[in-house]
């Protein structure tokens, strides 16, 4: 199985043996590809998100006021309301106004284009679809808490540690179910090609061919994690898988060349 991804891409004759494989083997192949894809996602997190998390911590440390929760009272240093917007992410706008006690309506968040609003009593987070409100009353009963430069940098370090295992297992799980489903869709294309070529293959064999024929697309998806978005990728994927399925079905329907006879001794 270790070499099968390479064989699936560079060797059309490899597909002759695919219909004889079991469904468990085909599913195991997807699971194996999922491990490779998940590892690539972790590397992409390191390349793309790692520096952004550090940059966000630097920005928050410099732009946001220090907030202290002590003795059931929330204070900000310096005092007074403060609104900050990220210089690159315009949707990331935060207001800290710990003197405000009245609720923040969703319309105000929309009108001011705010994502986060911290008041004396609650934390409001607006994600363009709904406003989520978190009551701060339970937190006020706890020990003293300071949200300052040290807090942001500690949070950034923790986020980076958590992102890697979460990203890996999430990417693998999504990939595993996604590629089983996409293989079923590609199998319909294989069914059409099989009918046009009158190859006589049954649908289970076509499904297993589709599992392996999507390997080149998966390779492109891994590469695209580190490149700008590939335009019309869905159409490209359909064309690539279609070519591989066509070649695979054609080879399976064509009997292999008989072995050349050994020369007779004179």
Q: What HEC string does 56-80 produce?
A: HHHHHHHHCCEEEEECCEEEEECCC
pLDDT score for 91 = 75
| Within a domain: 43 | yes
Phi/psi at 65 (5° precision): -70, 155
pLDDT score for 124 = 92
- In terms of domains, do 132 and 166 share one? no
| Within a domain: 229 | yes
pLDDT score for 240 = 94
Strands, DSSP E only, in the chain? 66-70, 73-77, 82-85, 93-96, 116-118, 122-126, 131-135, 145-147
43's tokens: 């590397």
- In terms of domains, do 165 and 139 share one? no
Which burial class, exposed, middle or buried, applies to 251 when counting CB atoms under 10 A from its CB (0-12, 13-18, 19+)? middle
DSSP-derived letter for residue 12 is G
Residues with Cβ within 8 Å of 93's Cβ and at least 6 positions away in sequence, in order, are 83, 84, 85, 86, 112, 113, 114, 115, 116
- In terms of domains, do 168 and 247 share one? yes
CA distances to 16, 68, 258 from 19, rounded to whole Å, are 7, 65, 21
| Within a domain: 266 | no
- In terms of domains, do 44 and 101 share one? no
Give pLDDT tens digits for 194-251.
988 888 889 999 999 999 999 999 999 999 999 888 889 889 999 999 999 999 999 8
pLDDT score for 266 = 41
pLDDT score for 72 = 67
DSSP-derived letter for residue 214 is T
Measured CA to CA, the distance from residue 115 to residue 162 in angstroms comes to 23
Residue range of the domain that includes 89:
72-143
Look at residue 264 and tell me whether its pLDDT is greater than 60: no
| Within a domain: 61 | no
Give pLDDT tens digits for 68-98.
887 667 888 888 888 888 887 777 889 999 8
Count how many domains the chain has: 2
Give pLDDT tens digits for 25-78.
999 999 999 999 999 999 999 998 888 888 888 888 888 888 888 766 788 888
Highest mean pLDDT of the ranges 11-15, 126-130, 143-147, 196-200:
11-15
| Within a domain: 216 | yes
Q: What is the pTM of this model?
A: 0.77
């Amino acid at each position: 199985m270790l070499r099968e991804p390479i064989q699936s891409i560079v060797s059309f004759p490899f597909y002759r043996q695919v219909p004889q494989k079991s469904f468990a083997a085909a599913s195991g192949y997807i699971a194996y590809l999922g491990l490779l894809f998940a590892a690539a996602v972790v590397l992409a997190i390191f390349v793309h998100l790692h520096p952004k998390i550090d940059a966000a911590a630097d920005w928050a440390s410099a732009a946001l006021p220090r907030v202290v929760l002590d003795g059931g009272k929330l204070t900000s240093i310096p005092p007074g309301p403060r609104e900050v917007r990220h210089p690159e992410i315009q949707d990331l706008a935060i207001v800290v106004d710990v003197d405000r006690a009245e609720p923040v309506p969703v319309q105000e968040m929309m009108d001011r284009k705010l994502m986060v609003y911290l008041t004396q009593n609650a934390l409001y987070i607006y994600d363009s679809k709904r406003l989520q409100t978190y009551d701060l009353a339970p937190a006020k009963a706890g020990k003293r808490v300071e949200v300052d430069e040290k807090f942001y940098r500690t949070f950034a370090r923790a986020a980076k540690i958590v992102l890697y295992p979460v990203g890996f297992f999430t990417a693998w799980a999504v990939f595993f179910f996604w590629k089983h489903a996409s293989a079923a869709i590609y199998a319909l294309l294989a069914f059409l090609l099989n009918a046009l070529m009158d190859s006589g293959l049954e649908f289970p064999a076509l499904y297993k061919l589709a599992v392996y024929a999507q390997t080149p697309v998966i390779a492109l998806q891994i590469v695209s994690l580190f490149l700008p978005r590939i335009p019309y990728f869905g159409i490209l994927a359909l064309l690539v898988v279609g070519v591989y399925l066509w070649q695979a079905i054609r080879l399976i329907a064509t009997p292999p060349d008989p072995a050349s006879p050994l020369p007779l001794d004179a």
